[in-house]
């Protein structure tokens, strides 16, 4: 483990590290065109890394159906590896966050590791476990970054698994009461996930966070010089109000007239999508005119449809190329998730000029500077409170447009591009940690 002074500051003008530096990033999720925000975040960072061939040679490891190397640029590639024990191997373990690998070690990955100089893990699954062991044995620099609330997701999906198991047995209400109310098995799994996460953070030379809550937790057991901030970026051309075309959106998805409430993400409990559906149900009962457009798929899609009927359209997965126009052509964005550390979708919606209604218990709230002016932050889990927060935006077109315009302006002024975010908060940390290990420049 390396302890050094203020390595969190990226102020190295001429880093004394091998040029280019060989860095490996490990994401124990399946790479696919319709992957979620964690994968998409690193796809954007990979694109940014391609602009620095003299400084970085980057390999990002993902799960895939077969061994495959995908070239992104001369100095950037994706390496896909099949899982050792996939969560899709057992029907009961399938969940909306996608396939991961719960094996304790990934043997195929191990042979790739010696070629790299800096290692960066983003979760606690088989890739991370393999890399942590290798870095400890070979004394290699290890960084971590927190991209989602793993303990919360563990509790959420544990609860779903218990519901599935008990649903197949007699006395299902009794078993759910016993496991969830009395024994609190889901809470126990969440606590175990937090302990496991803490172990990986302690093993890391640097931990990158994007949420104050995570920084506060880490600083209870790590020194400040081992914790740093990282930012996500925005594609300012892809997400912009100039793409607004409501007529196209209505024709493309057969939507009725009236304001469009947009949700983008997994349609499951991890994103609290039923809170949106129940709030919309209350708004419908009040006679409000609107239509809900949900982009994504997941286990709760049928429940959402049952609650809202012809008031909702679920698109399933869509090509990323359409997403910018969908944001810009909608009227407001509602996102009740509490599991995000820095949700890409909130930044994208604001960049596209949409007013956002988001949870006060989530990392996305940091993007709203003043609730009621450039967005709405709801500190409640009650559908009635969410309905009350959404209603004024449905009723007042000018208020909606003014809030969306302010959100766009603030995002343009404060949110970096992906290239800026990569250089200022990712690349410089890799170089700083490499230099701490005493690697000189090549001559």
Each residue's pLDDT, cut to its tens digit, for the chain (443 residues) gives: 333 344 465 655 556 666 899 999 999 999 987 788 899 999 999 999 999 999 999 999 999 999 999 999 999 999 999 999 988 777 665 655 568 899 999 999 999 999 999 999 999 999 999 999 999 999 999 999 999 888 888 888 887 777 777 765 567 777 777 777 878 888 898 899 999 999 999 999 999 999 999 999 999 999 999 999 999 999 999 999 999 999 999 999 999 999 999 999 999 988 999 999 999 999 999 999 999 999 999 889 999 999 999 999 999 989 889 999 999 999 999 999 998 888 999 999 999 999 999 999 988 899 999 999 999 999 999 999 999 999 999 999 999 999 999 999 999 999 999 999 999 999 999 999 999 998 654 43
CATH 3.40.50.2000 fits 21-233+418-436, yes or no: yes
- The full 3-state SS of the chain, as one line of letters, equals CCCCCCCCCCCCCCCCCCCCEEEEEEEEEECCCCCCHHHHHHHHHHHHHCCCCCCEEEEEEEECCCCEEEEEECCEEEEEECCCCEHHHCHHHCCCCCCCECCCCCHHHHCCHHHCCEEEECCCCHHHHHHHHHHHHHCCCEEEECCECHHHHHHHHHHHHHHHHHHCCCCHHHHHHHHHHHCCHHHHHHHHHHHHHHHHHHCCCEEEECCHHHHHHHCCCCCHHHEEECCCCCCCCCCCHHHCCHHHHHHHHCCCCCCEEEEECCCCHHHCHHHHHHHHHHHHHCCCCCEEEEEECCCCHHHHHHHHHHHEEEEECCCHHHHHHHHHHCCEEEECCCCECCCHHHHHHHHCCCCEEEECCCHHHHHCCCCCCCCEEECCCCHHHHHHHHHHHHHCHHHHHHHHHHHHHHHHHHCCCHHHHHHHHHHHHHHHHHHHCCCCCCC
Q: For position 405, what pLDDT does the model report?
A: 98
- Quote the pLDDT of residue 395: 97
Instruction: Name the segment(s) of the chain with CATH classification 3.40.50.2000.
Output: 21-233+418-436, 241-414
pLDDT of residue 168: 56
pLDDT at 189: 87
Class of domain 241-414: alpha beta
What confidence score (pLDDT) does residue 95 get?
59
């Amino acid at each position: 483990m390396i302890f050094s002074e203020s390595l969190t500051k990226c102020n190295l003008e001429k880093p004394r590290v091998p040029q280019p530096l060989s860095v490996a990033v490990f994401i124990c999720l399946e790479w696919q065109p319709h992957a979620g925000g964690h994968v998409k975040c690193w796809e954007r960072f990979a694109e940014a890394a391609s602009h620095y061939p003299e400084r970085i040679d980057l390999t990002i490891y993902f799960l895939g159906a077969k061994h495959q190397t995908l070239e992104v640029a001369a100095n950037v590639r994706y390496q896909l590896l099949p899982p050792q024990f996939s969560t899709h191997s057992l029907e009961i373990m399938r969940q909306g966050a996608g396939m991961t690998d719960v094996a304790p070690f990934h043997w195929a990955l191990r042979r790739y590791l010696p070629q790299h100089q800096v290692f960066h893990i983003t979760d606690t699954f088989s890739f991370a476990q393999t890399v942590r062991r290798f870095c400890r044995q070979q004394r290699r620099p290890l960084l971590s970054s927190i991209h989602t609330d793993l303990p919360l997701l563990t509790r959420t999906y544990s609860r779903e698994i218990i519901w599935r198991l008990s649903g197949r047995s007699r006395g299902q209400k009794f078993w759910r009461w016993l496991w969830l109310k009395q024994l609190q098995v889901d809470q126990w799994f969440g606590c175990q996930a937090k302990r496991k996460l803490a172990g990986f953070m302690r093993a890391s030379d640097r931990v990158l966070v994007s949420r104050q809550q995570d920084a506060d937790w880490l600083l209870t057991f790590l020194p400040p010089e081992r914790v740093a901030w990282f930012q996500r970026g925005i594609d300012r051309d892809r997400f912009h109000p100039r793409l607004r075309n409501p007529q196209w959106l209505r024709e493309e998805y057969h939507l009725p007239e009236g304001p469009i409430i947009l949700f983008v993400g997994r349609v499951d409990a991890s994103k609290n999508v039923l809170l949106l559906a129940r709030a919309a149900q209350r708004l419908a009962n009040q006679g409000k005119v609107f239509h809900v457009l949900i982009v994504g798929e997941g286990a709760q899609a049928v429940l959402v449809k049952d609650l809202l009927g012809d008031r909702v359209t679920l698109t399933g997965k869509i090509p990323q190329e359409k997403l910018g126009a969908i944001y810009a052509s909608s009227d407001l964005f509602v996102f009740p998730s509490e599991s995000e550390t820095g949700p890409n979708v909130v930044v994208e919606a604001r960049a596209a000029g949409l007013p956002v209604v988001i949870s006060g218990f989530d990392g996305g709230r940091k993007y709203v500077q003043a609730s009621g002016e450039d967005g709405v932050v709801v500190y409640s889990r009650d559908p009635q409170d969410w309905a009350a927060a959404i209603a004024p935006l449905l009723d007042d077109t000018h208020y909606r447009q003014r809030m969306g315009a302010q959100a766009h302006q603030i995002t343009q002024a404060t949110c970096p591009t992906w290239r800026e975010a990569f250089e200022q908060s990712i690349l410089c940390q890799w170089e700083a940690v490499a230099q701490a290990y005493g690697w000189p420049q090549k001559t």
